Structure 1
Amino acid sequence: METRIDEIGDRIYRLSTHVPDIVPPAGFAFNQFLVLGDEPLLFHTGLRRMFPLVSEAVSRIMPIENLRWITFGHYEADECGAMNEWLAVAPNAQVAHGMTGCLVSLNDMADRPPRVLSNGEVIDIGGKRIRYIDTPHVPHGWDAGVIFEETTRTLFCGDLFTHLGNGPAITEGDIVGPALAAEDIFYDTSLGPSIAPTVRRLAELAPRTLALMHGSSYVGDTVAALHDLASAYEKRLRAAMAGMPA
């Protein structure tokens, strides 16, 4: 395996490791995002066992000891498995996450105390502004959240729009169909009453780029893609509810 580096926005780098053994033959990509500024930020740490690959990739962009912020969508191995490895090599780095994630996991699991972010709080990393947005249970996880980089209007979607394969770093093609196909394999989305309204609220941000954790980042009609995904989830929720015994 190797970790591929692509700049998907102004000083925003996608670090992608394709694992062909997961859902072969398509395989599955694990993506982290490095946002450069006076205080560089890493969104997703990668799996603990991927730390050598991902840290080597980051070192080709910047000195890894200069990393200042570490955040992710929710507490899960592929999102934050290497969290403490990053804290060990970057002495000034701090994990930042929402209140729920900090209370239920990170206050205990992170080797240094995390910074608790309120919903809508912005961290100015110098040249970039990172807004944290709570999305509980969307797409899954009580502690779920996303970040929005305001200057480039990049929405870091976490597991939303997850799809298979080792596609290009950036696409303008359909990402909703592939996401629903992956959902039929993984059943990873928490289908509840908040799913569609939460995704539609993200569409109100009018992002330029959707940076996906699994699959190609998207620069097409992002607002339409978010609304289409919300509608598909809503339809699936209604079908599931209709099939429940009275």
Structure 2
Amino acid sequence: MSPSVHEIAAGIYRISTFLPDVGPGGFTMNQYLVDADEPMLFHLGPRRMFPAVAAAVARIVPVERLRWLSFGHVESDECGSMNAWLDAAPDATVAFNELGCQVSLDDLADRAPRRTSAEDVHDLGGHRMRTVQTPHVPHGWEAQVLFDETTSTLFCGDLFTRLGDAPAIVHDDDPIGPALVAEDVFGATAVTAATGPTIRRLADLQPRTLALMHGPAFAGDCVAALHGLADAYEARFTAGHAVRA
């Protein structure tokens, strides 16, 4: 594995590994390093990918300088390497919402995590990170996303998941069609009555860049993309109810 590294917004680096054997056409797994006075890594990756991802991080900042670790939900590809990062960065702390800490991280993390509250804003020194809780969106009771108020970058986790390889960042592109193709392959989204409204709440943040965990970062009309994704899931929810009726 040899991750690529690209700056997709000021001080925000996409670390991406292409996995050709995952899904039809392969799959990217991304981490995002926020280079601040207190550097943060969002998405930590699986345990077995730690050496390669750590080497990529070290191209930007020394691993031991990491101060904050976070991710979208508790799952191996999001946080399987969490304790390896805690060991490599002795001053690092996992930051996650109260529910995720209570249910999983208080037990799983080798050091006590920092609990974040709903709409918590944390100044990293050069970047202001807002925690937004998104239960079951796209999946996971404890799901969350982060929004960097400084660059208007939304770290949107598994939303807009896309198959195949792609450039580090795209502008004139359709993020919705590929996301629905991936959804048809994986069936990973918990489509409920709350899915659409939750995604629309993210659109209200007015992001300028969407930092996807699986796929290219998107710097087109992010607000329209989020509303379009909400529309698509609401249509699927309505159709599902019609079939059951």
TM-score greater than 0.5 by the shorter chain: yes
Question: Which residue does the alignment assign to 2:72?
Answer: 73
Cα drift, residue 2 of structure 1: 1.0
Q: Deviations over 1:45-67 (max 9, x none)?
A: 01100001100000111110000
Letter in 2 for 1:41: M
Within-5 A mapping of 1:202-213: 202-213=202-213
Question: Which residue does the alignment assign to 1:103?
Answer: 102
State the SS of the aligned residue for 2:150. coil
- Identity between Structure 1 and Structure 2 (%): 59
Letter in 2 for 1:74: H
Task: Provide the alpha-carbon RMSD of the alignment.
Answer: 0.6
Q: Deviations over 1:8-53 (max 9, x none)?
A: 01110000000000124x1000000000111000000011000011
**Cα distance in 1, alignment partners of residues 48 and 99 from structure 2:** 26
TM-score, normalisation: structure 2: 0.99
Question: Which residue does the alignment assign to 1:134?
Answer: 133
State the SS of the aligned residue for 1:100. helix
Give 5+ residue unaligned stretches, structure 2: none
Question: Which residue does the alignment assign to 1:166?
Answer: 165
Number of aligned residues:
244
Within-5 A mapping of 1:186-197: 186-197=186-197
Question: Which residue does the alignment assign to 1:147?
Answer: 146
Question: Which residue does the alignment assign to 2:227?
Answer: 227
Within-5 A mapping of 1:1-246: 1-24=1-24, 26-172=25-171, 173-244=173-244, 246=245
**Cα distance in 2, alignment partners of residues 174 and 63 from structure 1:** 36
**Cα distance in 2, alignment partners of residues 111 and 144 from structure 1:** 21
TM-score, normalisation: structure 1: 0.98
**Cα distance in 2, alignment partners of residues 216 and 180 from structure 1:** 15
Letter in 2 for 1:224: A
Runs of 4+ residues over 3 Å off in structure 1? none
Letter in 2 for 1:69: W
Q: Deviations over 1:61-96 (max 9, x none)?
A: 111000000000000000001000000000000000
